[in-house]
Structure 1
Amino acid sequence: MNKELIINAATHGVDIALLEDKKLVELHTEKNDARFAVGDLYLGKVKKLIPGLNAAFVDVGFEKDAFLHYTDLSPYARSLLKFTQMAISDKTPGGMDFSQFQVEAEIIKTGKINEVLNGKPNILVQILKEPIAAKGPRLSCEISLPGRFVVLTPFNDIVAVSRKIHSSEERKRLQRIVESIKGKNFGVIVRTAAEGKNTAELHEDLTELQNTWKVIQQNLHGANPPHKILSEQTKTTSMLRDLLNADFNKIVVNDKTIYADAKAYIQRIAPEKAEIVQLHNNPLPIFDQYGITKQVKGSFGKTVNLNSGAYLIIEHTEALHVIDVNSGYKSVSNNQEQNALETNLEAAEEIARQLRLRDIGGIIVVDFIDMKLPDNKKKLMEAMEGFMRGDRAKHAVLPISKFGLMQITRQRMKPEMNINTQEVCPSCNGTGKISSTLILEDEIEKNLGYLFTHKHSNLTIVVHPIVYAYLTKGWLWNSKVAKWKRKYKQAITVKSDNNYMLTEFRFYDANGEEIKM
């Protein structure tokens, strides 16, 4: 699988697109004025304890107090409180030696929030979820500092190795190495990317994270809440840190500053891949050059069309998300059960992509096309799990219920991404909206493909004059129509009719008879 990261610097901030085999799977926006990103560390002030919720509200400088539940306190919450107070008032030259810090007893899992945060103290917290809708950020006291190969967790001495590393010998090797090089009072989680790495590489990553912890100590000195102690890396570098592997073959940036930063970061963490960073110099917008704009237009509407003619309807409610799978005109055989399975498998792949792309979280209910055979339901369940394996968000997929519904839960870390895929209609001067021109073009092309595979030839397409101009613009060999002729190796004629609505199009056969779709 080839992965490409396309980075578009705009006036509002930075848009980052992740492509897998040229297909858009993730889209992120980092605004210029972004605050309270996941991973940021703040010195907060406990404002209110809510025993009924077993939670506290903490002031971290957001317009609404952030939420901290007892289950997010960390077993080492008392150690964190003690460390916070010591670091704030520390007068030791060069800062206190963390290896000499005396760790407090762990809190119990079934305890009460007011037993731990009594007195409403100042506390070091980490953003667990960005502010969503009317809610403030969600916080955690389980401080973790992620590196490329390891994650540093203060106040414990546990070394854990990712379960995705299947070799028991490799797991033992990594554990031995990390146990020998880590500092006292630091726990370490060894990431999947550490597989096969040598001691020097792991030591360099671990040392950098331990130095970051020293910076946190320094920033806490004399701080008054609410105060940002440490920012997570930019979205670009954090994605490179988490995703960079042998599959990455291109990182393209249209901004010289971001280009230099990305190149320097890659040079530091993976010098052998520094050459994959490129500066976009083409006058064509970078997202247009790599086909991202078109994919965005076709992927973010209420209706998502699949290549076969099947389509998804995605609805959002306050409590959950509902996805309906429709077969359209897809037909792979005369067997209804086989048709349903094939359509469902295609839809499952697109649904997994849509969840990542839109960052849909919470409860998702999918109404697949009904299947009768238990084996087919099992195949669909296994396929969905496989398609979602590349999703970095925590998720769970439940088997299809007796009502034919599949339930999926997915971790929500930030507000869901919604992009308007409609354009103001020139026919009614903006009183209504139509599907994007790009989507209309796709609809015509999909219908063409369907008709040609069903023994039709010498087709004529009649459209509104504006759409006619769009489809025929360019040189004779470079217009949309010319590309269709080369693709299908068929004669295609396009005509315009002023009486047509902007989104209306019809097909006629060689005898001039209209083909009903």
Structure 2
Amino acid sequence: MTSELVIDVKAEEISIALLEDKNLVEYQTETTSQSFSVGNIYLAKVKKLMPGLNASFINVGYEREAFLHYLDLGPQFASYEKYLKQVRSDHRKLYPFEKAMHLPDLKKDGSIASTLTKEQEVLVQIVKEPISTKGPRLTCDLSFAGRYLVLMPFHDKVSVSSKIKSGEERSRLKQIIHSVKPRNFGVIIRTVAEGCDGAELQNELQILIKRWEDVINKAQTATPLPQLVYEETSRAIALLRDMFNPTYSAIYVNDKAIFDEVKDYVTLIAPEKAGIVKLYEGKVPIFDNFNITKQLKSGFGKTVNYKHGAYLIIEHTEAMHVVDVNSGNRTKAENGQEQNALDVNLGAADELARQLRLRDMGGIIIVDFIDMHLAEDRQLLYERMCKNMQQDRARHNILPLSKFGLMQITRQRVRPAMDIHVEEICPTCFGKGKIKSSILFTDQLERKIEYLTKKVGEKHITLHVHPYVEAYITKGLWSIQRRWQLKYGFGINVVASQKLAFLQYEFYDKNNQFIDMKEEHDN
């Protein structure tokens, strides 16, 4: 299996797609203005205490206050609290962390009212992004994740991932970290560290310690509160950090700055794989070139078709996700209804595992499979689902089918489920149901080209349109595009874009920056 990562960078958002054997399996997108990301650390104040919930609400600058439960304060909260007061008390000289006092662990059965006070300053880290009507979820047990290690201030223990089975290797890794770890730091050694030499681990440990030092330096003088004192790495780098493996055949990026950032990171963690990072400079949009746009539009609807006419119905609710499996117009198997139900269900298990990763669905997922009477068939389906989910990095739990044919799945949720609206609003009527005559569409485009070239002075323009419209404009010896070029300059190019609706268009300048030329009422 070959894996390819495709990164589409735009002025307003960055999107990342993971392909396995050319099939889209993971997709993440975020706006460049979005500031609430898992891993970010804030110096903030307690807004209010909720003794009934044994929790508090913290103002971190989001429209809804963030939620901090007593158990999320972490066992080392007293140590954090004392050290933060020492740091904040002197804005000129930083109190050394190695001299910080390690206080007793917080009691598990304590109360929030006896631990926190209103307006108290706390260092908090986001563990769940805002979802629906809920604000971010916080923890005071800070951690800094690298590729091989996770650093935890005020912990002294060194732990090794349970997925590393060799006792000899576990002992070797622990010995390396103990020999280089400063006082007052705990470390978790991640699975990918298996086989790493001491120099690599020590280098990453120093990088993570430097991040903690930067947090404290910013917290020392931060005002007014809340203040962001540590920002998680960009989505592209964060995804690479957690997912990178030697099976990647290529990483394509369509932006020079992000390309340099990604290449530097890959060179740091795997110098021999630096050559797989490639700058995409094609004229066709990068997602169109790798057939990602089509897969997005076909994979994110309410109805998802898979092999032989069968399909899934996926519904999202506030409390859970519900999936219904339907055989559709599938031809029945020769072995009868039971075999037909098994085939449809096994195909559904394959597609559902991909959909969970693709949409990043979390929380409770209820799947209504087609009824099967044989216990061995139900067991086979359960084993197939478990095997498919082994590729999923999110923590999950799967229960065997109930007597009603329902399968219950829980999957870790740290950010809202990916929900892409595949239905398109008509760009020419803006949902009103009436449009101008489509024969005048090219005249409308020409007026805008004339305005850009003669009034604005843009000499190099790229026009993105629906593939059908692109063919109409560019085909033929004496095409519309050629006439435009002769009249307004040869810097006018027309590109087909699969993401656009039939009479939708977008203009870009020579630096590939979007030019907003859309009007609800064109003059």
TM-score for the superposition, normalised by structure 2: 0.80
Deviations 1:414-473 (A, max 9, x none): 1222112123579x99678xxxxxxxxxxxxxxxxxxxxxxxxxxxxxxxxx99999999
1:164 aligns with 2:167: no
Deviations 1:17-53 (A, max 9, x none): 1112211111111211111110000001011110100
Q: Give 1:88 deviation, angstroms.
A: 2.0
For 1:119 and 1:258, locate their aligned partners in 2 and report how far apart those are by CA, in whole Å. Answer: 42
Q: Give 1:336 deviation, angstroms.
A: 2.3
Deviations 1:138-193 (A, max 9, x none): 11111110011010011111111111112222222212222222111111111111
1:125 aligns with 2:113: no
2:54/2:112 contact within 8 Å kept: yes
Report the identity percentage. 51
Q: How does 1:321-336 map to 2 (within 5 A)?
A: 321-330=321-330, 331-336=332-337
Q: Which residue of 2 aligns with 1:290?
A: 290
Deviations 1:227-278 (A, max 9, x none): 0001000000111111111111111011111111111111122111111011
| 1:299–1:207 Cα change, 3 Å | same
Q: Which residue of 2 aligns with 1:259?
A: 259
For 2:350 and 2:79, locate their aligned partners in 1 and report how far apart those are by CA, in whole Å. Answer: 45
Q: Give 1:338 deviation, angstroms.
A: 2.3
1:50 aligns with 2:31: no
| 1:90–1:2 Cα change, 3 Å | farther
For 2:118 and 2:17, locate their aligned partners in 1 and report how far apart those are by CA, in whole Å. Answer: 46
2:46/2:117 contact within 8 Å kept: no
| 1:335–1:167 Cα change, 3 Å | farther
For 2:194 and 2:356, locate their aligned partners in 1 and report how far apart those are by CA, in whole Å. Answer: 28
Q: Give 1:62 deviation, angstroms.
A: 1.4
1:216 aligns with 2:224: no
**Letter of the 1:204 counterpart:** N
Q: Indicate the RMSD between aligned Cα atoms, in angstroms.
A: 2.7
2:47/2:118 contact within 8 Å kept: no
Q: Give 1:97 deviation, angstroms.
A: 2.5
Q: Which residue of 1 aligns with 2:417?
A: 416
SS at match of 1:152: strand
For 1:74 and 1:148, locate their aligned partners in 2 and report how far apart those are by CA, in whole Å. Answer: 23
1:54/1:69 contact within 8 Å kept: yes
For 1:205 and 1:63, locate their aligned partners in 2 and report how far apart those are by CA, in whole Å. Answer: 36
Q: Which residue of 1 aligns with 2:31?
A: 31
Deviations 1:380-403 (A, max 9, x none): 222212211222222211111111
**Letter of the 1:220 counterpart:** A
2:91/2:221 contact within 8 Å kept: no
Q: How does 1:468-507 map to 2 (within 5 A)?
A: none
- Shifted more, 166-175 versus 120-129: the winner is 166-175
**Letter of the 1:166 counterpart:** K
- What count of residue pairs does the alignment treat as equivalent? 443
- Shifted more, 415-424 versus 221-230: the winner is 415-424
Q: Which residue of 2 aligns with 1:459?
A: none
Q: Which residue of 1 aligns with 2:319?
A: 319
1:89/1:222 contact within 8 Å kept: no
Q: How does 1:200-211 map to 2 (within 5 A)?
A: 200-211=199-210
For 2:471 and 2:3, locate their aligned partners in 1 and report how far apart those are by CA, in whole Å. Answer: 31
Q: Give 1:130 deviation, angstroms.
A: 1.1
1:216/1:230 contact within 8 Å kept: yes
For 1:99 and 1:467, locate their aligned partners in 2 and report how far apart those are by CA, in whole Å. Answer: 63
Q: Which residue of 2 aligns with 1:101?
A: 100
TM-score for the superposition, normalised by structure 1: 0.81
For 2:271 and 2:467, locate their aligned partners in 1 and report how far apart those are by CA, in whole Å. Answer: 49
Q: Give 1:119 deviation, angstroms.
A: 5.1
1:78/1:107 contact within 8 Å kept: yes
2:124/2:138 contact within 8 Å kept: yes
SS at match of 2:113: helix
Q: Which residue of 1 aligns with 2:400?
A: 399
1:77/1:116 contact within 8 Å kept: no
Q: How does 1:38-77 map to 2 (within 5 A)?
A: 38-77=38-77
For 1:403 and 1:360, locate their aligned partners in 2 and report how far apart those are by CA, in whole Å. Answer: 23
Deviations 1:184-225 (A, max 9, x none): 111111111101111111111111111111111111112232
SS at match of 1:409: strand
